[in-house]
Amino acid sequence: MRILKCKNFSDDELIDFARGLSSFNGDIREQLLHWDFGAVMTMKFDPAATNYLFSDEAVPFHWDGAFYREPRFLLFYCLESEGGGGETLFADTEKIWESLSVDDRARCEKIQLTYRTKKLAHYGGEIKVPLLQSHPVTKRPILRIAEKVETALNPVELTVAGFPGCEEFFHGLVQMLYREEYLTEHCWESGDLVIIDNFKYLHGRRALGNNRHRSFKRIQIL
Ligand SMILES: [Fe+2]
C-alpha cells in the first residue's frame, strides 16, 4: 500500500501515472480496466443513488472486479473530504491466512462462495469463487472474504458452501477483517493518492456521516 500527496492532478495525469504501474505495455485498454464511463470513475455521494457505493452508507469489505475482471492495483485519488466519515478500510488477507491454525486453513480450502447482484451500476451477475486463492504475482495464499451486502440499494447475496457449519466459520473470518492487527483505516484529505494491491487486500468504507462532500477518482490497473 502506498500513500502519496499530489494536489491538482488532472484525469490525464492520473491516467499516465496509473499506466506506468500496469504489468502490460501498449494499449490503454490492456493496462487499465474500462467500463461504460471509461477508465476513471468518479465516486461521490448522490442522494438519488440506486447503488450503495454512491450512497452515504458503509461499504462492506470486497475486492474490485469480482463480477468482471480483477485488476492488479487500485488507485484512489481524493478530490475532496471534510473531516471524519467515509474512511476507507483495508484488510490484509495474507496476514490473516498466516495467523490461522492448520485446521482452519483446511476449512478455508473447502469453502466455495457464490455472490449474486443485479447490474444496477457498472457491475453485476453471479460468480462462484473459492475462498482460498493464490496471489497471481507473489503466489502467496490470499483469502477472498467479501461480505454479504445488506442494503435496499442493490444488495449482494452470498451463499457459503463447503461443510456443515461453514457459514459460522466464514462469519468468524469476516470479523477478523475488522481486527486492528489486520486493518488499515485511511482518513482522507484532498490530494491523497493511494495505491493498493487488489489481491492481497480487501477494502471497504465507513458510512459517510457528515462527510457528504467526500469525492474521489478511482482507476483499476491491470
Ligand atoms: Fe471497491
Across 36-61, average pLDDT = 90
177: Cα separation from own chain's centroid: 13
Say what the pLDDT of residue 123 is.
77
Read off the pLDDT band of 41 (50, 70, 90).
very high
Read off the pLDDT band of 154 (50, 70, 90).
confident
Across 69-74, average pLDDT = 96
Read off the pLDDT band of 51 (50, 70, 90).
confident
Separation of CA 61 and ligand 1 centre (Å): 8
Separation of CA 164 and ligand 1 centre (Å): 31
> Running DSSP on this structure, what letter comes out for residue 109?
H
Separation of CA 8 and ligand 1 centre (Å): 23
Q: In sequence order, what are the residues at sequence separation of 6 or more whose Cβ sits closer than 8 angstroms to the Cβ of residue 46?
A: 54, 55
Q: In sequence order, what are the residues at sequence separation of 6 or more whose Cβ sits closer than 8 angstroms to the Cβ of residue 155?
A: 117, 148, 149
Separation of CA 7 and ligand 1 centre (Å): 23
The tally of CA atoms less than 13 A away on the side-chain side of residue 126 is 4
Q: b/e map of 167-194 (b: 16 or more CB within 10 Å)? A: eebbeebbebbeeeebebebebebbbbb
For 96, the grid coordinates are: 490473516
- How many helices and strands in the chain, by DSSP H and E? 5, 14
pLDDT in tens, 183-214: 999 999 999 999 999 999 999 999 999 999 99
Separation of CA 111 and ligand 1 centre (Å): 23
Give the separation between CA 129 and CA 188, rounded to whole angstroms: 32
For 92, the grid coordinates are: 490484509
Give the separation between CA 197 and CA 21, rounded to whole angstroms: 11
The residue that leads in pLDDT, 66 or 166, is 166
Separation of CA 63 and ligand 1 centre (Å): 6
Separation of CA 205 and ligand 1 centre (Å): 9
What CATH number does the domain located at 2-221 have? 3.60.130.10
Among 124, 90, 126, 96, CA closest to 108? 96
- Checking if the pLDDT of 217 tops 80, the result is yes
Separation of CA 107 and ligand 1 centre (Å): 27
**Hey, which bits of the chain come out as E strands?**
2-5, 40-44, 59-62, 73-80, 88-92, 112-117, 125-130, 132-134, 141-143, 157-161, 183-186, 192-197, 201-205, 215-221
Separation of CA 14 and ligand 1 centre (Å): 18
- Checking if the pLDDT of 152 tops 90, the result is no
Separation of CA 168 and ligand 1 centre (Å): 25
pTM of the model: 0.92
Which helix (H) or strand (E) segment holds residue 104: the answer is helix 102-110
107: phi then psi, degrees, rounded to nearest 5: -65, -45
Separation of CA 18 and ligand 1 centre (Å): 17
Q: In sequence order, what are the residues at sequence separation of 6 or more whose Cβ sits closer than 8 angstroms to the Cβ of residue 164?
A: none
pLDDT in tens, 106-138: 999 999 999 998 877 777 889 999 999 999 999
